[in-house]
Amino acid sequence: MARIIIGGYRQDVVLNLFDSVVRAMQDPILTHLAGGKGLFLRYGGQTEEKDVQLAFWIGPSSAIRFEYDAEIFPELDEEQAAVFAEHLKVFGGIILGTKAEGDRMEAEMQATE
């Protein structure tokens, strides 16, 4: 597993995802922010109890970091990274969540102190 940690708020926002997903998002997000543009990071999915829809604005000067549990840095899935880069270009953000009926991306949002 890996995580994207968004700071600059009263509490950090932590998005836990598979390391391959975080790795594919890292370069497109950092390149987009380095260009002086902010982005929306949106997550939508379902639990057994309810639908979850969350959106975060990450400004170009926001504190953001990418952490990996694996000792070996994950290999980049260039095709997936290109999809994320295209979403940033066209939509101004990345949308994560349900890919198909019954197929949920494992993600967990939590606030840390």
Partners of 68 in the β-ladder? 2
Mean pLDDT over each residue of the chain, to the nearest integer:
83
Look at 69 and 104; give whichever has higher pLDDT: 69
pLDDT-derived band at 53, boundaries 50, 70, 90? confident
The pLDDT value recorded for residue 9 is 65
pLDDT-derived band at 110, boundaries 50, 70, 90? very low
The model's pTM is: 0.78
Residue type, 112: T
Q: Backbone phi, then psi, for 93, in 5-degree steps? A: -175, 180
- The H or E element containing residue 23 is helix 19-34
The pLDDT value recorded for residue 7 is 85
Distances (CA, A) of 30 to 50, 65, 80, 89: 32, 10, 15, 13
Lowest mean pLDDT among 10-14, 42-46, 80-84: 42-46
Joined tokens for residue 43: 């997550």
